[in-house]
């Protein structure tokens, strides 16, 4: 006889606390939709492995659940464009993120090559 256990129900607070979220915006503050936000695992895993990533929605919002660890946060715009993207407050290089704590917020700025990385400052 097989016994089936009920699936555990996620705790609402725990689910919201495991989320990392933010905005992708242009330097003028307007939403930059459909930008890929990546959290690359540090140190890199051997071989090919899943790197957590998510695309922002049309309003520039993104949200992703991350497992505990250290990541380099970055964003990617179309390689054919005249724009570059990076974490707000960053210097254009890898932006380290330590998880936990959870419930963190990080915005990314999309700007023209000529203004990058100075456009990332607050």
> CATH number of the domain at 22-120, please?
2.60.40.1120
What percentage of the chain carries pLDDT values higher than 90? Answer: 55
45 or 108, greater pLDDT: 108
pLDDT computed for residue 106 by the predictor: 94
How many CB atoms neighbour CB 97 within 10 A? 18
Nearest alpha-carbon partner for 24 in 62, 51, 66, 54 = 62
Element of type H or E holding 74: strand 69-76
Residue 9 in this model has a pLDDT that exceeds 50? no
Q: What's the number of CA atoms in the CB half-sphere (13 Å) around residue 85?
A: 26
What percentage of the chain carries pLDDT values higher than 70? Answer: 80
How many Å apart are CA 65 and CA 86, to the nearest integer?
Answer: 20
Q: What's the number of CA atoms in the CB half-sphere (13 Å) around residue 24?
A: 28
Residue 8 in this model has a pLDDT that exceeds 70? no
Place 93 in a pLDDT band, splitting at 50, 70 and 90: confident
Mean pLDDT, rounded, for 38-58: 84
29: left (phi over 0), alpha (psi -120 to 50) or beta: left
Average pLDDT score over the chain: 83
């Amino acid at each position: 006889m097989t016994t089936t256990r009920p699936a555990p129900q996620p705790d609402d607070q725990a689910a919201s606390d495991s989320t990392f979220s933010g905005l992708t915006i242009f330097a003028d503050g307007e939403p930059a939709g459909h930008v890929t936000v990546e959290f690359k695992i540090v140190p890199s895993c051997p071989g090919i492995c899943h790197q957590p990533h998510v695309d922002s929605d049309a309003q520039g919002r993104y949200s992703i659940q991350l497992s505990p660890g250290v990541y380099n946060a970055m964003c990617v715009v179309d390689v054919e464009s005249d724009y570059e993207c990076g974490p707000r407050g960053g210097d254009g290089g890898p932006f380290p993120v330590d998880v936990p704590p959870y419930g963190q917020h990080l915005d990314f700025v999309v700007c023209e090559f000529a203004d990058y990385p100075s456009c990332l400052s607050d």
